[in-house]
Chains A and B, each alone.
Chain A
Amino acid sequence: MIGQIVKKQLLILLRNPVQILLLVGLPIILIAILSMALGGTMSGEAPKINLKIAFLEHGDEEEQIDRFVSDIEQSALPDEATEAIRSNTSQVAPIRILKDHIFGSDDLEAMIEFHVVEPGEREQILNDSSYTAVVEVPENFTYEALGSMVLGGAAPALQISVNDEQQLGSHIVTQILESFQEQLTLGTFLGKKGMDEAVLQVEETFGEVSIIAQKNPITTQGYYTVGMAVMNVLFIASTLGSIAFMEKKTHVFDRMILGNISRWTYFIGVFVSSSLFGFIHLLIVYGFSWIVFGVKWPDLVAFFLVTMAYAIAIGGITVLLTAISYRINSEVITNFFSAIVVTFMAVLGGSFFPIGDSSAVIRMLGNLTPNGAGMSSYLTILRGDGISEISHHLLFMFLFALLSITIAAISFPKRRAS
């Protein structure tokens, strides 16, 4: 009988072209409009990062290290202290770390074009607009840096000239160097405390930063495909909720009861219809977006898992709306859901703009809506992550569905009207 209920719901939906247009056509139109109107505002739409960096050294780092060690050996420090400093210093070459382990790391290699240039080329490089930044190492940088670490005093600074025409790239290079300077200052501080080994972990810290930069960018079309799909599929819940209430209002439901159909069969029929239609709806919107806007899913298993979890959550909302409208004998809850709640959930879930970027609390609240959790999951997959990164969202959607179904089952009138 559940199959008959699903078939009947499908036929009713298919016979309503306006409804179909609103459910399927509207998100597609909105994706196109929002993508065009807001294309430049999305972080994921940023041009591919390509940094061309010129690196100019006014001095030889090895010579400065040898000179520093030699000066230490000739100082009045005790032999043990001198030996300890010599053995640690040989491992700390800030410029080598910067060149080999930061700018030359595997993680940044894809986005950085690194050129070591001679001091004589400086003017020519500064006039070359293809360069994002020119990093200059002052003449006694390493000597002073080591001295600062071991003997105290201010740490020396690198000099950077940025290309104003490449604002994003300039900003990234500046950020990298600021982080490097911070690590160097930290090294100075720790050096005063006896050259702790943590100083030597500078490169690892940078390694972690670079991983984020390597994720797949999310295009505006991708973002709004997800945003509109997760929002519009909520209308499946209100549409099927309305059909269900109409069945009560016109006594069709009574006919089913008189046919000895269990009200739980009907309840499950509504749930299955809604979950199935929600699943199909999402596939249609994503399929269209794939064909027209080129929004592809790197991990199809994760994609189908999220779609299934979200569709089940939609089924949960539908039976909840149905149960409440049957309980209060009014369609007001379904109308309120479609007119107010969907919009509120869509904004909170980030369907219109990435609202969570501005506040961790709002991001958390957004993820506590099924559409927000669905959206976060989809965006995570689009960025190239796998199931493990979305497992908490999947769990939330399943639990949300379970809670909705439980409340609906409790609310759904179990006895004949009394």
Chain B
Amino acid sequence: MLELVDLSKKFKQNNAVKNVNMFIEKGEIVGLLGPNGAGKSTAISMLSSLVIPTKGDVRFNNKSVIKHPEPLRRVIGMVPQEIALYEDLTAEENLKFFGRIYKLKGNALKKKIDEVLDQIGLTDRRKDIVKTFSGGMKRRLNIGVAMLHDPEIMIMDEPTVGIDPQSRNYILETVKRLNHEKQMTVLYTSHYMEEVEFLCDRIYIMDQGNLIASGTKDEIKRILSAEKAILIKSNRWNDTFITSLKQDPTVNRVIVEEKEITIMVPKEINMFSSLIRIAEDAGIELNSVDIKTPTLEDVFLHLTGRALRD
């Protein structure tokens, strides 16, 4: 349905996106993961026909979006990372203005506004000026505007940044519902791993402009199927302990945080006894030892060597 073919974008000396290939099928929710600066927003700007790529093509139903953006624009709904609203207008006035952009008018527009306000839970606040809204309400209206023309494809660029958990859950449930009830195709970018795990059927992972992994959630997690993560906690660490861990031939990687260390080891290795011995030799008192199954966060860590929100 929608494809990115060898897509690249260069801003002066900065290669923001490098030879990205991606596809989205009708009715699926696809996640695009990556830390800040990974190139996600540039990729979706090219995908939505707002930015012309330096190289490559975007194809919608096998036709070039670069040459003919109109067919895609008619069916696309865009939720930018920013609050793309007029904060001095009311929720209803915003919806009316953007509805007119999509050629809606009269009763059809009124009916659609009522429906959207109901879907995003802002019917009671329809006459209120947007700048009086909480961050979560603004985010919901930001999504509502993109829903006005019943888009087939919804592109959501980090739509839950900086909002309270309640609004976040509301938004995630809304996206799920739209996908389920209207078969809406969704491309969802985020650096919240749990959102992507909750929503998406398939996932693409980007880092430094490159697409570094793709597949279903299980396929992605299987990247780490040969490893397991041992999570240990203590009030303090010392250099002897960390050096000993890193020098242990059975340990693949050690990720040190303030009161927590993650040790990646081959799945078949049982290093419990050796871990206790290393801790005793280094004078470290362990508070807990936990063996975890890999999460997408672990996969990301494995692929990039850094956490998603770094």
Contact = CB atoms under 8 A, between A and B. Distances in A.
A416 B52 contact: yes
B82 interface: yes
Given A1-B101, A4-B100, A258 B49 contact: yes
Contact of B86 (A249, A252, A261): A252
Interface in B119-155: 129, 145, 149
A235 B4 CA distance: 45
B76 A258 contact: yes
A254 B80 contact: yes
In the complex, the 10 A-B pairs of residues with the closest C-beta atoms, listed nearest first: A259-B101, A15-B88, A251-B80, A251-B84, A418-B52, A12-B88, A4-B100, A252-B84, A417-B51, A250-B82
B73 interface: yes
A417 B41 CA distance: 13
A12 B86 contact: yes
A254 B82 CA distance: 11
A87 interface: no
Interface of A: 1, 4, 8, 11-12, 15-16, 249-252, 254-261, 415-418
A133 B295 CA distance: 106
Given A251-B80, A257-B50, A417-B45, 14 more contacts: A4-B100, A15-B88, A250-B84, A251-B82, A254-B84, A255-B101, A258-B76, A258-B78, A259-B98, A259-B101, A259-B102, A260-B74, A261-B101, A415-B52
Nearest to B96: A4
B241 interface: no
B88 A1 contact: no
Nearest to A3: B100
Contacts of A417: 45, 50-52
Contacts of A255: 78, 80, 84, 98, 101, 145
A254 B50 contact: yes
Contacts of A252: 84-86
Contacts of B69: 416
A254 B83 CA distance: 12
A417 B11 CA distance: 11
Give the size range of B's interface with the partner.
20 to 34
Interface in B82-115: 82-86, 88-89, 93, 97-98, 100-102
A416 B129 CA distance: 31
Contacts of B76: 258
Nearest to B148: A259
B70 interface: yes
B48 interface: yes
Contacts of B101: 1, 4, 255-256, 259, 261
Contacts of A257: 50, 73
Candidate in B49, B74, B93, B100 with the most chain A CB atoms within 10 angstroms: B100
Nearest to B93: A11
Given A252-B86, A415-B52, A15 B129 contact: yes
Interface in B42-91: 45, 48-52, 69-70, 73-74, 76, 78, 80, 82-86, 88-89
Contacts of A4: 97, 100-101
Nearest to A254: B50
Contacts of A15: 88-89, 129
Given A1-B101, A12-B86, A250-B85, A258 B50 contact: yes
B163 to A, nearest CB: 17
Contacts of B78: 254-255, 258
A416 B53 CA distance: 10
Contacts of B80: 250-251, 254-255
B50 A8 contact: no
Nearest to B145: A255
Interface in B25-48: 45, 48
Nearest to B74: A260
15 contacts: A4-B97, A8-B89, A8-B93, A12-B86, A15-B129, A250-B83, A254-B78, A255-B78, A256-B101, A257-B50, A258-B76, A259-B149, A261-B101, A416-B69, A417-B45
Contacts of B49: 258, 416
Given A251-B82, A255-B101, A259-B73, A16 B88 contact: yes
Nearest to B101: A259
Contacts of B98: 255, 259
A260 B93 CA distance: 20
Contacts of A12: 86, 88-89
A12 B84 CA distance: 15
B157 to A, nearest CB: 9
Nearest to A9: B86
Contacts of B48: 258
B234 to A, nearest CB: 46
B235 to A, nearest CB: 46
B87 to A, nearest CB: 9
Contact of A11 (B73, B82, B84, B88): B88
A252 B98 CA distance: 9
B89 A11 contact: yes
Contacts of A416: 49-52, 69
A260 B74 CA distance: 8
A12 B73 CA distance: 27
For A4, A258, A261, A416, the residue with the greatest tally of chain B CB atoms inside 10 Å of its CB is: A258
B129 to A, nearest CB: 7
Interface centre among A16, A249, A255, A417 (most CB of B within 10 A): A255
A84 B48 CA distance: 98
A193 to B, nearest CB: 79
A4 B98 CA distance: 10
